[in-house]
């Protein structure tokens, strides 16, 4: 079961050790069904168990593009990417895992959509929160 959204605990330690370069590394997002065992405290790397499949989706997900490292604003530095979109897809997903393919598929963040999202021969889009100090997906306060 997908257990909430947030930054993975392992990522926080790796970030402080300088093991991620988020504006240069290959950062991917993979989609998962409701039964996937994703948890911000225990997920440390990309997993295949519970990853979705279907027309328009390739295993391991897709690379995130358009990285922007922003700030500091209101004493916060933050980061965002373009919203990932799977066009011409027929998919159902409950959540996602953002991971660093350049660093041993290390887990960065888990997204719990709160309900199953679907596409039917259309576009499946993961809408990232607005890039601002209080809302960005990845932010350092």
Predicted confidence (pLDDT) at residue 42 exceeds the cutoff of 90: yes
Residue 118: inside a domain, yes or no? yes
Predicted confidence (pLDDT) at residue 3 exceeds the cutoff of 90: no
Q: Mean pLDDT for the chain? A: 96
Predicted confidence (pLDDT) at residue 141 exceeds the cutoff of 90: no
For the segment 70-88, the average pLDDT, to the nearest whole number, is 95
pLDDT of residue 90: 97
Q: What are the structure tokens assigned to 16, written together?
A: 């402080």
Residue 70: inside a domain, yes or no? yes
Q: Tell me which residue range forms the domain holding 61.
A: 6-140
Residue 1: inside a domain, yes or no? no
Predicted confidence (pLDDT) at residue 15 exceeds the cutoff of 90: yes
Going by C-beta distance under 8 Å and a sequence separation of 6 or more, which residues neighbour residue 16?
none
pLDDT of residue 61: 98
Predicted confidence (pLDDT) at residue 16 exceeds the cutoff of 90: yes
Predicted confidence (pLDDT) at residue 87 exceeds the cutoff of 90: yes
Residue 55: inside a domain, yes or no? yes
Establish how many alpha carbons lie within 13 A of residue 128's alpha carbon, considering only the half-sphere containing its beta carbon: 25
What whole-number distance in Å separates Cα of residue 37 and Cα of residue 77?
Answer: 30
Residue 15: inside a domain, yes or no? yes
Predicted confidence (pLDDT) at residue 1 exceeds the cutoff of 90: no
pLDDT of residue 78: 95
Q: What are the structure tokens assigned to 81, written together?
A: 């990417």
Predicted confidence (pLDDT) at residue 81 exceeds the cutoff of 90: yes
Residue 131: inside a domain, yes or no? yes
For the segment 52-57, the average pLDDT, to the nearest whole number, is 97
- Output DSSP code: residue 124: E
pTM of the model: 0.95
Domain total in the chain: 1
């Amino acid at each position: 079961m997908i257990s909430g959204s947030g930054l993975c605990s392992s990522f926080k330690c790796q970030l402080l050790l300088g093991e991620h370069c988020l504006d240069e590394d290959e950062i991917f997002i993979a989609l998962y069904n409701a039964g996937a065992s994703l948890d911000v405290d225990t997920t440390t790397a990309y997993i295949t168990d519970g990853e979705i499949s279907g027309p328009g989706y390739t295993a391991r997900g897709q690379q995130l593009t358009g990285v922007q490292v922003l700030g500091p604003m209101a004493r916060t530095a933050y980061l965002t990417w373009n919203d990932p979109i799977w066009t011409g897809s027929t998919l159902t997903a409950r959540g996602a895992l953002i991971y660093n393919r350049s660093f041993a598929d290390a887990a960065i963040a888990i997204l719990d959509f709160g309900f199953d999202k679907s596409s039917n021969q259309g576009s499946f889009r993961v809408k990232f929160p607005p890039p601002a100090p209080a809302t960005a997906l990845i932010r350092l306060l």
